[in-house]
Chains A and B, each alone.
Chain A
Amino acid sequence: MGHFDVAFCADFVRGIVGADDRAELERHIAVCRACAANLRWLVDVAALTAADARYEPPAELLTRADAMFATAKPGTPELPCPTPLDEAGGGPSSGRRFDAGEESRAQGRSHSTS
């Protein structure tokens, strides 16, 4: 028997192949390392991407982050540096708050997802 192509394996992982095709592929991967490996990375990708939308932060947080950048101008020497890099951390409350004016200055830039 020949190998299953990557597109078919993707369909298998997405759960959109028929019962007969599914059974055939399952029999095949039991004896074919190449197709089993092809299937494995697709399973990984499907599992890890399935919940990705949950991790999209609200847009207002990005607006605030832009405002922080616009206000702080990281390259300037007078920038306050309260936390040594190697000890960076602390609680969420260490985050700085910014006013609506700062937010509005940062409007208009987009943050495409990588």
Chain B
Amino acid sequence: MIPSTAPLPDAPDEGAADAVLVRACLDGDAEAWATVMGKYKRLIYSIPIKFGAQPDDAAEIFQAVCADLVVELPRLRRHEALKPWLMRVTRHKTMHWKSRSRRESLWTQPDDAPEHLVKADETGTRLLEEVEREQAIRQAVASLPPRCQEMVRLLFYEQPPLPYNEVARRLGLATGSIGFIRGRCLKKLRAQLKAAGF
């Protein structure tokens, strides 16, 4: 099965939570800033990586986005729109990097053919939808109780998949009790993702 890539609506609670964080940042609250970074660091960094940037270029783009965010925070008209703002700015900087590196490489392939540009645009749209869905999952996981967060991380984020006795060991649970807790956590995750329009 292929993951679907339909765009997600912004969860209203997330927007409200971001508005609170932005206001706290404007009050100089360093913890709020660290929370913003913790919440969106992977979203920002993932965009240049998905568009083909090497780690050095992705790092430069990440740093430029953070610099812009610090400068622009006081003028962010809709505090709840932090995530779309970050995505827009990161994409813009990534596209700028991409066109600059294309010019510098002096490629002679027919990149300017209209059908190629249309295809590139479709790919870009698909990648950004993927970025949004990944962020929706991160936020859904972050909204779970701590033990469920850890369970979901052990189940899905560890590659290769961990055997259940190892999951139980890391969670400090008896292997026999994993089944019930696992089902309960997955149902909670499902509910959070549904609420986010996933």
A contacts, CB < 8 Å to B: 5-7, 10, 14-16, 39-50, 52-58, 61-62, 64-66, 68-70, 72-75, 79-85, 88-96, 109-114
Q: How far is the CA of A70 from the CA of B3 in the complex (A)?
A: 40
| CB-based contact B133/A48 at 8 Å | yes
* Contacts A10-B186, A57-B45, A91-B93 given; does A74 touch B64 at CB 8 Å: no
Given A43-B1, A55-B45, A75-B26: A92 touches B155 (CB 8 Å cut-off): no
A residues in contact with B139, CB < 8 Å? 114
Residue B51 lies at the interface, judged by CB distance under 8 Å to chain A: no
Chain B 164-190 against A: per-residue CB contact (8 Å), 1 yes, 0 no? 000000000000000100110011011
Contacts of B157 in A (CB 8 A): 49, 52-53
Contact partners of A85 in chain B: CB under 8 A = 72, 75-77, 85
When the two chains form their complex, are residues B96 and A89 in contact, meaning their CB atoms are under 8 A apart?
A: yes
**A57 contacts which chain B residues (CB < 8 A)?**
41-42, 44-45, 58-59, 62
Q: Considering the complex, which residues of chain B in the window 133-165 have a beta carbon less than 8 Å from any beta carbon of chain A? A: 133-134, 137-139, 141-142, 155-157, 159, 161, 163
Residue of A75, A109, A111 touching B74 (CB-CB under 8 A): A75
Asked if residues A95 and B34 are in contact (CB atoms below 8 Å), the reply is no
B102 beta carbon closer than 8 Å to chain A: no
A48 and B66 contacting across the interface, CB-CB below 8 Å: no
In the bound assembly, the distance between CA atoms of A42 and B34 in angstroms comes to 30
Q: Are A91 and B96 in contact (CB-based, < 8 A)?
A: yes
Let me know if B161 and A14 touch, CB within 8 A.
yes
Say whether B31 faces chain A, with CB atoms less than 8 Å apart: yes
Residues of A within 8 A of B74 (CB): 74-75, 79, 81
Q: B92 near A89 (CB under 8 angstroms)?
A: yes
State the CA gap A99–B47 with chains docked (Å): 26
CB-CB under 8 A for A7 and B182, given A55-B46, A93-B60: yes
Kindly identify, within residues 38 to 78 of chain B, every residue whose CB is under 8 Å from any CB belonging to chain A: 38-46, 49, 55, 57-68, 70-77
Determine whether the beta carbon of B190 is less than 8 Å from that of A6: yes
Is B114 among interface residues, defined by CB-CB distance under 8 A? no
A–B complex contacts, Cβ < 8 Å, 10 sampled = A6-B186, A7-B179, A7-B186, A40-B4, A49-B157, A84-B75, A91-B97, A96-B63, A110-B38, A111-B34
* Contact between chains at A94 and B75 (CB < 8 Å): no
Q: Are the C-beta atoms of A44 and B142 separated by less than 8 Å?
A: no
Question: How far is it, in angstroms, between the C-alpha of A79 and the C-alpha of B41 when the chains are bound?
Answer: 24
A111 and B41 within 8 A (CB)? yes
Residues on B with beta carbons closer than 8 Å to the beta carbon of A39: 1
Q: Are B96 and A75 in contact (CB under 8 A)?
A: no
